[in-house]
Amino acid sequence: MIGRRDFLQASALWLSAPSASVSAPPGDLSGRLARLIFLDDVASLAACSPQAPSETARAIATRREFFLAGALLQSSPPDDDAAAIAIRAGRAAVEAYQPLEASTAEARIRQDVRLLRELAAREGAALDRPPSHQQVADLFETLGRRVLIAIHTYIPDSDDVEGWMERLIGLHEAAHAYWQRLAEAYLAATPRRDEWFDASEPIVRAAAALHLGPLDSAAIARAISAPPRSAYARALADAHRRLLGL
């Protein structure tokens, strides 16, 4: 279970403001998937929200990769207003997530797994005949290999190519370690409703449903305005509120 202290001891692990500093090799990736799952839920809500400005909703829907992965960008792609909005919206959503993020790697892995198990429940995945730890880790590796196909080639850092090479090697090592830890924790977890996450809350249910199909506007509005109880639902509502003011 994610304790109150974990999520109250929020740390600034995420660079919400773009930084020009050269990165150190990434040593620990714990919490990255949980944050992305949150952003993905925000995107599904915001893209269909009757309250979100249509320009913002459209930008999040059409330039989703900039919303989900562009928060660290120091500038927007030229002549692409939708991407610029999606990047700003992504930063706002990341800020809303910060209070949720646990301060220790161990607790962040628990958050990753809590939300992964929620996604599994949404898809009807079954753990009655659980796969091995290695098979779960391999699924992440296989998906990573498909990503390499999708992005085609690495873009090197021409300002610091040797440092970039070292950081890329470090990133791959960190990713292997992350998948192993996630696999182990995923199979060991016994998720239950708690103060950090409650899948039965209206705003969480609406976000989950909107990944799969439409909901009527009134139902979305009711879900967004329902008083949130868990930290996750509060952050979703906060992110949505921030997007209204962009």
Partner 1 sequence: MSEHITHTAVTDDALRLALHSPDICQVFHGALQRNADICRYSAMTRSGDQFTVKLLRALRDQWRNGRLDSLAEKKLAFLLGWRCHLAADRTFKPVYRILDPRHYLKGDDEKGEASDVSIYHDVVVFREVYDGGRAEPFTPSALDFRLESHPASRAMPARALQRLLLPFWQTELLRIHSRRVPARFQPHRITVLRYSAAYHTPDPDKMRRFIIEPNFYNPQDPLIALARSLQRAKPRRDITLPDAVAAAPKQSQYAQALERAYRYVMAASDYFTGKIDEQELELRCDVGKPHVPAEFDPRRKKS
Interaction with partner 1 in 176-235: which residues (CB under 8 A)? 186, 211
Query: How many residues belong to the site for partner 1 (CB under 8 A)?
Result: 80
Q: Residue 19 or residue 225: which is nearer to partner 1 going by CB?
A: 19
> Of all helices (H) and strands (E), which one includes residue 242?
helix 231-244
Q: Residue 3 or residue 191: which is nearer to partner 1 going by CB?
A: 191
As measured in angstroms, the least distance from the Cβ of 188 to partner 1 is 13
Q: Is 165 in the site for partner 1 (CB under 8 A)?
A: yes
As measured in angstroms, the least distance from the Cβ of 68 to partner 1 is 4
Q: Residues 59, 88: contact at Cβ < 8 Å?
A: no
d(CA 143, CA 135): 12
Question: Residues, the chain, total?
Answer: 246
Q: Is 244 in the site for partner 1 (CB under 8 A)?
A: no
- Phi/psi zone of residue 194: left (φ > 0), alpha (ψ -120 to 50 degrees), beta? beta
As measured in angstroms, the least distance from the Cβ of 26 to partner 1 is 7
| Interface with partner 1 in residues 90-119 (CB under 8 A) | 116, 119
d(CA 13, CA 185): 21
Other CB atoms within 10 Å distance of the CB of residue 160 = 13
Residue from 199, 201, 223, 200 nearest 48 by CA: 223
| Interface with partner 1 in residues 39-68 (CB under 8 A) | 39-40, 65-66, 68
Among 17, 27, 50, 127, binds partner 1 (CB under 8 A): 127
As measured in angstroms, the least distance from the Cβ of 15 to partner 1 is 8
Q: Is 4 in the site for partner 1 (CB under 8 A)?
A: no
As measured in angstroms, the least distance from the Cβ of 92 to partner 1 is 16
Q: Which residues contact 46 (CB under 8 A, 6 or more apart)?
A: 52, 56, 57, 60, 89, 239, 240, 243
Q: Residue 70 or residue 228: which is nearer to partner 1 going by CB?
A: 70
